[in-house]
Amino acid sequence: MYRMIGADGQAYGPVDANQIRRWIEENRARGDTLVQAEGTGEWKPLRSFPEFAAFITNAPPPFAPPPGPMQSWPSPYAARASTKIPAGVCGILLGTLGIHKFILGYTGAGLIMLLLTLVTCCVGAIVTYPIGLIEGIIYLTKTDEEFVRTYVDGRREWF
């Protein structure tokens, strides 16, 4: 009996030698596929097992991946950077009201921008709009990792 690591990184088995031969014929297992024989703790390439050597040499070459865009994996920071796009867009469109600050949890900075705009009957927007616009652009141009490091973990409220 054997265990095998599939292309998805998951361990499969225990399976018998006949099943592994079928997987080789179906091109689901190749010479570099890691296999562990029952009773051993060592993972070895399938080609190192003499009982499968003849099947590996006769196996068809692996299929080429279909043309098209490569699948991208989500960034490990993606969940923590989930406020980046809403804050960036609100900074650009509603920067005078400080909505982007509230989205990031910076209540004090958001209130300063909101009150400066409202108390001055929108004259303060001369100051708050460029701030919101610049911050929105900065948020959207940062990578998820930079955004999390600067604005989520670092709690940087201004620029």
In a domain, 27, yes or no: yes
DSSP per-residue string spanning the chain: -EEEE-TTS-EEEEE-HHHHHHHHHTTSS-TTSEEEETT----EEGGG-HHHHHHHHHSPPPPPPPSSPPPPPPPTTTTTTTTHHHHHHHHHHHGGGTHHHHHTT-HHHHHHHHHHHHHTTTTTHHHHHHHHHHHHHHHHHS-HHHHIIIIIIS-----
Instruction: Report the CATH number that the domain containing residue 27 is assigned in CATH.
Output: 3.30.1490.40
Task: Verify that 149 and 89 share a domain, yes or no.
Answer: yes
- The count of structural domains within the chain is 2
Give yes or no for a contact between 17 and 4, defined as CB atoms under 8 angstroms apart.
Answer: no
How far are the Cα atoms of 14, 52, 56, 92 from residue 23, in angstroms, in the given order? 14, 11, 10, 55
In a domain, 158, yes or no: no
Task: Verify that 91 and 54 share a domain, yes or no.
Answer: no
Greater pLDDT, 53 or 33: 33
Q: pLDDT for 36-45, tens place per residue?
A: 888 888 888 8
In a domain, 23, yes or no: yes
Mean pLDDT of all residues belonging to the chain: 85
Q: pLDDT for 65-101, tens place per residue?
A: 556 665 555 667 788 889 999 999 999 999 999 999 9
Query: 70: how many CB neighbours lie within 10 A of its CB?
Result: 6
Q: What is the pLDDT of residue 57?
A: 60
In a domain, 102, yes or no: yes
Q: What is the pLDDT of residue 59?
A: 45
- Domain limits for position 143: 84-153
Distance CA 113, CA 132 (A): 9
In a domain, 159, yes or no: no
Q: What is the pLDDT of residue 63?
A: 53
State yes or no: pLDDT of 14 exceeds 90. no
Q: pLDDT for 133-146, tens place per residue?
A: 999 999 999 999 89
Q: What is the pLDDT of residue 73?
A: 59
Sorted by sequence, the CB contacts under 8 Å of residue 32 that are 6+ apart come out as: 45, 46, 47
Greater pLDDT, 53 or 49: 49
